[in-house]
Structure 1
Amino acid sequence: MVSPGSTVSILRDFFFKSPFHTFGMAFILFLLLYFLFASAALFITRFIQSSYKLSGQESYDPAQIRKEIKYSIVSIFIFALQAIFIQVAYVQGWIHINWQINIITLVPQILILFFWNELHFYLCHRLLHVGWWFRKVHKIHHTSYHPSPFSVYSFHWIEAFLLGTVIFLPLFLYPFQYLALLSLPVMSIFLNTLGHWDYDLFPHLKPSSLLKFSYRHAMHHRKVHGNFGFLLPVFDRIFRTGIK
């Protein structure tokens, strides 16, 4: 029987064996996450009352979804290319990863990465709404006026690269546990999917409520400027960029 530690060692050695291995595994991982969460969201919406749908449309536009999938696959390709840099940095000893599991420190590390993801997204998103960045880059994402779960990675390749840098700073600053690092893309796409599925399950709450993140991001797609945050409304409050 292969022990959990041996399994981790096998996966670690295979992932960092070569840039090709790293690229392939990262591409497959992001592809699986993308289609898994988007498909799950579509399935769940079958059981949700239509009155919760923000756009009022009965179903998602198939042509829009095809376009979103096309751009998302390009974004996933960019994420996988960025993983090659991580492979090189790890092999060269520029970064370190903790391959042990310690529950006591794992939860705080996941929380730190969660808050960093929120800040990184807000800063990048603000930049993407400035001049050239919006006209030539971020506008592609906003062609999904009524977003769908498949629009979570529907980016220009430059935007995909910019958002994909979220992992770099933590890797160079601290040897996070590998499970904490893996939680980052999972958390990101899970929350991103809920932010783009065009449903508001809490219509009676104020727009500033934590549970209204789906509504806030839907309004961002409608009105374009404002609500630049990811899940938390805190940075929109601090910088007064929230909209209703």
Structure 2
Amino acid sequence: MAQTFTSLSAPQVMLWGLLFFGGIYLCFGAAAWLLTKRVLPAAGIGRVLDPRPLQPGQLRRELTQSGVSVLIFGLGMVFPWGLLQLGWARLDPDAGWRQIAVEIIVLAIWNDVHFWINHRLLHTRWLRRFHGPHHRSFVTTPWSTYSFHPIEALMLGNVILLPMVVHDFSFWSLAAVPVFSLFFNCIGHSNYDFFTGVSYSHWFAASRRHHLHHAVHNGNYGFQFTFMDRLFGTRVAADAAEPVLQAFRKKHGATA
């Protein structure tokens, strides 16, 4: 597969990139939507985090912005391909499954570091305007996952470039990054608590933490894990959104 990828032309790489990112976005988004809207509620598993309704036209806006992000991510596959063509990076064609597993773990940790740094920058006054389109989704959906301004998409989409120039990864390790990244991102934006019995600090409570980020618009800049927010003191309190949610419940006569 490594040899096949490097032998493609630039237009072929971009076409396959578009199909890949568009495919995983639609598949994961549809699966998360079906699970959180139909399957899990019917089975009595988990709970909705934010009961407020979606804004008028929100889904159409999210899908439109996500389409632009898919375009950027897909066409952007030419950059890692270009690193290989220039000889600035190499793929390891002989990596065994143990090496691939270790590489994926390392890349997952790096993904969290990279995401926190860029996400924190996007909340500074210089870059905040580029993060605003994503935060228009006060109540998130799985389709919010790629709903970015193009600048934000460029910032988040370069996650594998630095690792590629410092280590010869397997093709499969690098290809896994957008897959697990989108999977966890869909969970984080699902507005659904899948594991109500775990603590707020647990890895499986990522949807709770990211729900709070959208509800209060500061803190919880991390991705799936919590170590970056812990290290830099940017964690949001577990009950930070309660004043907003209680006001909504009171207004609409709800008690839960």
Structure 2 residue identity aligned to 1:48: L
CA distance in 2, matches of 1:87, 1:209: 36
Distance in 2 between residues matched to 1:61 and 1:52, nearest whole Å: 20
**How many Å apart are 1:86 and its aligned residue?**
1.9
CA–CA distance in 1 between the matches of 2:3 and 2:162? 26
Which has the higher mean CA deviation after the structures are superposed, 146-155 or 94-103? 94-103
Checking the alignment, whether the CA contact within 8 Å between 1:210 and 1:231 is kept in structure 2 is: yes
Contact residue 101 and residue 179 of structure 1 kept, 8 A: no
Q: Which residue of the partner structure matches residue 136 of structure 2?
A: 143
Specify which of 206, 211, 215 is matched with residue 208 of structure 2: 215
1:109 aligns with 2:103: yes
Counterpart of 1:29 in structure 2 is 20
- % identity of equivalent residues: 34
Question: Deviation per CA, 1:124-174, whole angstroms, max 9, x where unpaired?
Answer: 11000000211x200110000001000101000000000011010011111
What is the letter of the counterpart of residue 93 of structure 1?
G
Q: What is the TM-score of this pair, normalised by structure 1?
A: 0.90
Q: Which one-letter code corresponds to 1:230 in the other structure?
A: F
Correspondence 1:123 to 2:117: yes
* Partner in structure 2 of residue 161 of structure 1: 154
Preserved CA contact (<8 Å) 2:2 2:171: no
2:86 to 84, 92, 114: 92
Residue matched to 1:236: 229
Distance 1:190 1:62, change over 3 A: farther
The aligned runs of 1:5-16 (5 Å cut-off) are 8=1, 11-12=4-5, 16=7
Q: 2:39 matched to 1:47?
A: yes
Could you give the per-residue CA deviations for residues 27-79 of structure 1, whole angstroms, max 9, x where no partner exists? 1100000000000111112112287001125x756721111111111111111
Within 2, Cα distance between the matches of 1:10 and 1:96? Answer: 10
Gaps of 5+ in 2: 239-256
Give the count of matched residue pairs.
233
Asked whether 1:226 is paired with 2:237, we answer: no
Distance 2:107 2:208 in 1: 24
Structure-1 separation of matches of 2:203 and 2:80: 33
Q: Does 1:56 align with 2:47?
A: no
Partner of 1:199: 192
Seen in structure 2, the aligned counterparts of structure 1 residues 63 and 88 have a Cα distance that, compared at 3 Å, is same
Aligned partners of 1:54, 1:29: CA distance in 2, in Å?
Answer: 30
Structure 1 residue 90, shift from structure 2 partner: 1.2
Query: Structure 2-normalised TM-score?
Result: 0.86
**Aligned Cα root-mean-square deviation (Å):** 1.8
Matched-pair contact (CA < 8 Å) for 1:71–1:153: yes
